[in-house]
Structure 1
């Protein structure tokens, strides 16, 4: 009997990278050597995971380990994929499954995974079991091929750092990112730091706004010449957007999520301050998150900046009202984000006419009827 993991590998295209994890605690019945679990990835995205056990009595353990070992599964390496295909094999029985990441917040700012069984257990010693296994394999291979088309052309390795605007470094973890700002390059007063702490506290638990695992803080240099930094650890991790989604449904969902986030910010007298597509991430097919709250500012605050110093999204001050930053300023920036999408002309008009996020969303919902 060909191991099901090898069967999968032979079905996949050459672009599929196959990995095996050696586990000294799991031996093979036939050879007595290690029976490693399986993992397959395409362009850095894990799309299938297997747990192999020696005895059937360990099937429950295999299923539990699929959930426990993959508790940290996230979009940081799965791109737009929302379900992770997997299997648990114990002796001659196999159970195909799919792991779904849920958006529900749990203690410590984490999300959990839910295991969905795909059919019943299959007995690989019977003809029916083998035929059903082949049937499942063909279906899962088709799903993986479709999933691979949704993946970004490139990906960022976990643990790597990216330097964005001057003085800012983003380091990617498996479930969160660490943002550091060199305070010698960007001035930040104690008052500003306190305000950002209030911002992250005000948006806590809002799924459409980036979350801080701990309040932002500044590091104290421990040696001569060391730089002082603003530091905050953020989640969730998603796919960054460079422009408006081309798919009308995705664009609608993006606007919906942004407006939901703005409603929470505005209800706490806070403006986002820098609404651009690079400050929006996609965490699932229908969920988007507004990030980069470091540009936030109190609504109604007077802006005393030269045009050259203003964020690009401010359109040289055109989004301000009498040199003040208001809720309308955020809505005008969001409207500008839709300007190049002809299919979004009606939404753009609704945003330009509205004075609040609630009013804008009510108008946009009417457009969908």
Structure 2
């Protein structure tokens, strides 16, 4: 990979050839799969290559009609020939002249493909283009075993809209996909995000587990814009709990029962957190009374009076339909008004 101003504008896939052209095609598919299109609308293509044995192909990578990354060959090179090596060098020099301009045209999110972030509790988070690595510098084996347990539950129960654990080592966990820390910007996006979180919680709670740390930093948007998913199950535990377990979660962003009394709590803590997400979303609703009633219901001080995740999801779908109907009615009124104005003219 080659990065310019933090943007990976040239990347490749290499493998020892076994079946000739078939393997090269597989490498092209792998290159496209590992390259989510994060370059925005102002960039038409970036560059890459695939190589196997003495064969190399320079390729361009672009966003296809489905919004995914596609590849197209620029030229084939047989590196066992000196003339081909020289031709490749000249091609790379010409490509290098274009890379700074491509990087400048990319949106801010593309400039953070590689990041190392030191989190709380001795966790080093390494953000890569297609995955995220968590390195547990303190109590690594115990925390890894906890992750293995919870992600076995997520997998066995097919919990939707959650990050996937793809690899575990003694102190390192690797997750896919990588998402973007992008909050919903519109009411429509907020409905989608909250709906997908509640869909995950319905299944998670049915399996007698709870997340306990649902905040916007733990809700990621898919890089292709297809929706949101839940991450960071480090504090997930079985439901119910008779006392506080694990690290102490902040009072400001979590339900009161986690930090008061004997610390006993149930999956109602996650429902409270969904209300907190809506409250902190910065997205306005046309019907403020409905918004207030919904969040008050979710964040009731008495956990036993909060809805279940399934009940909250049912209510959310009703609110979404109501908002859609209001929006359609408003748009229809605007169209009629516009048509009336034209007829008058």
The two structures have a TM-score, normalised by structure 2, of 0.59
Asked if 1 retains the 8 angstrom alpha-carbon contact of 2:181 and 2:217, the reply is: yes
Q: Secondary structure of the residue that 1:178 maps to in structure 2?
A: strand
For 2:205 and 2:65, the matched residues in 1 are separated by: 32
Match of 1:164 among 79, 96, 119: 119
Task: After TM superposition, list the pairs within 5 Å mapping 1:150-229 onto structure 2.
Answer: 151-152=107-108, 155-158=111-114, 160-183=115-138, 190=142, 194-204=145-155, 206-215=159-168, 217-218=169-170
- Name the counterpart of 2:35: 73
The structure-2 alpha-carbon separation of the partners of 1:152 and 1:323, relative to structure 1 and needing over 3 Å to count, comes to same
Relative to its length, the structure with more helix (as a share) is: 2
Residue by residue over 1:128-183, the C-alpha shift from the partner in whole angstroms, topping out at 9 and shown as x without a partner, is xxxxxxxxxxxxxxxxx9xx68x33673243x422122411011233211101222
- Name the counterpart of 2:84: none
Alignment of 1:235 with 2:191, yes or no, is no
- Name the counterpart of 1:274: 213
Match of 2:267 among 322, 327, 331: 327
Residue by residue over 1:86-123, the C-alpha shift from the partner in whole angstroms, topping out at 9 and shown as x without a partner, is 89xxxxxxx99743789xxxxxxxxxx67599xxxxxx
Q: Secondary structure of the residue that 1:169 maps to in structure 2?
A: strand
- Name the counterpart of 2:318: 366
For 1:86 and 1:296, the matched residues in 2 are separated by: 40
The structure-2 alpha-carbon separation of the partners of 1:84 and 1:316, relative to structure 1 and needing over 3 Å to count, comes to farther
Alignment of 1:246 with 2:185, yes or no, is yes
Q: Report the number of matched residues.
A: 256
Cα displacement (A) at 1:276: 0.8
The structure-2 alpha-carbon separation of the partners of 1:342 and 1:250, relative to structure 1 and needing over 3 Å to count, comes to closer
Cα displacement (A) at 1:257: 1.6
- Name the counterpart of 1:26: none
The two structures have a TM-score, normalised by structure 1, of 0.55
- Name the counterpart of 1:336: 276
Cα displacement (A) at 1:248: 1.4
- Name the counterpart of 1:285: 225
Q: Secondary structure of the residue that 1:343 maps to in structure 2?
A: coil
The structure-2 alpha-carbon separation of the partners of 1:314 and 1:258, relative to structure 1 and needing over 3 Å to count, comes to same
For 1:181 and 1:286, the matched residues in 2 are separated by: 30
- Name the counterpart of 2:298: 351
- Name the counterpart of 2:75: none
For 1:200 and 1:100, the matched residues in 2 are separated by: 34
Q: Considering only aligned residues, what root-mean-square deviation do their CA atoms show, in Å?
A: 4.6
